[in-house]
Amino acid sequence: MRYREVRMPLYEYRCKKCGHGFEELETIADRDKPRACPRCGEMCVEREVSVFAAKVGSGSPSRGCGPSGAT
């Protein structure tokens, strides 16, 4: 049997009732399905905008792009 790599995005959610934030690894097709908060069980969860980092370039320090490279 051959296995193929399946890549799924990681989505971030926050419960509007208790404020608990959590992540789910799921398919794009399932990202909008209703889900319960794992802490309080309520069905009032919303997807958040994820923040991510990516290395760009040769690895030299950033200049002029944010707090560490502010000019």
For residue 36, is pLDDT > 90? yes
- Indicate whether 55 belongs to any domain: no
Return the higher-pLDDT residue of 40 and 57: 40
- Indicate whether 70 belongs to any domain: no
- Indicate whether 69 belongs to any domain: no
Q: What are the tens digits of pLDDT across the range 46-55?
A: 999 877 666 6
Is residue 11 within 8 Å of residue 47, measured between CB atoms? Answer: yes
- Indicate whether 62 belongs to any domain: no
- Indicate whether 63 belongs to any domain: no
pLDDT range class, residue 32, cuts 50, 70, 90: confident
- Indicate whether 4 belongs to any domain: yes
Across residues 32-45, what is the average pLDDT?
95
Domain count, the chain: 1
Residue 43: count other Cβ atoms within 10 Å of its Cβ.
11
Across residues 37-64, what is the average pLDDT?
78
